[in-house]
Amino acid sequence: MKHKTFLLFAVLVIGLLCGPLAANAEKEGKVYRIGWLGPTYRVFDKVLVEELRKLGWVKGENFVIEYQAWGCKPDQIPALAAELARHKVDFIFAVHTTDTFAAKNATSKIPIVFTMVGDPVGYGFVSSLARPGGNVTGVSSNLIEITGKALQLLKEAVLGASRIAYLHNPARGQLAHQFLEKMQSAAQTLDVKLQSVQAKDPKDFDAAFKAMVEGQAQGLVVLSSPPYNSYVSQIVDLALKNNLPMIVLGPTYWPRAGALMSYAPEYPHQYRSAAHLIDKILRGAKPADLPVELPTLYEFVINLKTAEALGLEIPESLLIRASEVIE
């Protein structure tokens, strides 16, 4: 009897030890399918793929990306998310807040990793930053908490500015409203009169800038978001044409295109952090147990060529705080 009990115990122990190994063995050779939902940014995309390679995931060998990029048509996002869910991809990488909304609505089972989401708890994507719950986790841009910082930097750059315009997209619904509230609160603190200007798409840009001029705006804050990211040159040109110093809450490609300044988390770091979350999920972790990551690196870029074109002299106190100065 003792001998049989020992044999049974041994079989159970071996099963417990070998079970995970067998499961992993079954996954060897599997090619995982990543569903990409959102716009593609060549520089950032390469960062994600390269970081995954460092973690042992080689594109074309053990994972492939199924792109559902919506370009300049954000109204397509829900249908594209539903398509990924129907294809039963292994998980979804959601680039922006609007993409994450669509992905979460499309599936409650497929793991979702997001980036560049300003307030994941406020939007209902996760229960808390520490314990997301559900099938969603990711990397927050925390943009909603730094809107006031952008306004402050612009006021420092444009000495004496008391009227500043804020260009935003009302089509983003509750998200747009929350950012506007934050901006209005910051303006009140900084003793600035904020002019809220809306533009849903490129056909609204001319009228929006005309309204800024008529409102005697002395500067402009832009929230980098769809569809503005697809019309950077047009927005930059209109700001210069109307002599409006502009700071963008968004990536550094804005000042490289001629915007006066940009301030935001370091976007490549967001993608590298997302790659590590993806790695953990592919190795068996659940999004519910993976804390949302917050940015630790920020980029503040100033374009001195643009400052000269606008007739501005940027204070030395601002220049020394910049992570990059374009001359």
Q: Residue 280 belongs to a domain with what CATH number?
A: 3.40.50.2300
**Same structural domain, 291 and 306:** no
Q: Residue 15 has what pLDDT?
A: 45
Among 20-34, 86-100, 250-264, whose mean pLDDT is lowest?
20-34
**Same structural domain, 168 and 186:** yes
42: its two tokens? 């060549």
**Same structural domain, 65 and 129:** yes
The whole-model pTM stands at 0.79
**Same structural domain, 56 and 175:** no
The 3-state DSSP class for residue 241 equals: helix
Q: Residue 14 has what pLDDT?
A: 41
Report the chain's mean pLDDT, rounded to a whole number. 88
In a domain, 17, yes or no: no
Give the mean pLDDT of 279-290.
Answer: 96
What is the spatial distance between Cα 315 and Cα 321, in angstroms, rounded to a whole number?
10
DSSP, res 56: T
Beta strands per DSSP E along the chain = 32-37, 63-68, 91-94, 112-117, 136-140, 163-168, 193-198, 219-223, 246-249, 261-265, 298-303, 324-326
19: confidence class by pLDDT, cuts 50, 70, 90: very low
pLDDT higher than threshold 70 for residue 17: no
**Same structural domain, 202 and 322:** yes
In a domain, 150, yes or no: yes
What is the spatial distance between Cα 156 and Cα 319, in angstroms, rounded to a whole number?
11
Tokens 């041994």 — which residue?
10
Q: Residue 131 has what pLDDT?
A: 96
**Same structural domain, 91 and 52:** yes
Q: What size, in residues, is the chain?
A: 327
C-alpha of 163 from chain center? 28
In a domain, 14, yes or no: no
**Same structural domain, 104 and 252:** no
C-alpha of 172 from chain center? 14
pLDDT higher than threshold 90 for residue 89: yes
What is the spatial distance between Cα 300 and Cα 247, in angstroms, rounded to a whole number?
10
**Same structural domain, 126 and 58:** yes
Query: Which residues constitute the domain of residue 320?
Result: 144-266+299-326
What is the spatial distance between Cα 93 and Cα 138, in angstroms, rounded to a whole number?
9
169: its two tokens? 């997209």
Tell me what percent of the residues of the chain surpass a pLDDT of 90. Answer: 71
**Same structural domain, 198 and 314:** yes
**Same structural domain, 128 and 158:** no
pLDDT higher than threshold 70 for residue 135: yes
* pLDDT tens string 140-184: 988 888 889 999 999 999 999 999 999 998 877 677 788 899 999
Number of domains comprising the chain: 2
**Pairing between β-strand 298-303 and β-strand 246-249 as defined by DSSP bridges:** unpaired
Among 75-89, 105-119, 166-180, 282-296, whose mean pLDDT is lowest?
166-180
What is the spatial distance between Cα 87 and Cα 34, in angstroms, rounded to a whole number?
11
Q: Which residues of 156-184 are buried (b: 16+ CB within 10 A; e: fewer)?
A: bbbeebeebbbbbbebbeebbebbbebbe
**Which one has a higher pLDDT value, 250 or 165?**
165
What is the spatial distance between Cα 269 and Cα 175, in angstroms, rounded to a whole number?
23
What single string gives the DSSP state of each residue in 1-52? -HHHHHHHHHHHHHHHHHHHHHHHHHHTT--EEEEEES---HHHHHHHHHHH
**Same structural domain, 188 and 316:** yes
Give the mean pLDDT of 50-57.
Answer: 97
Q: Residue 23 has what pLDDT?
A: 39
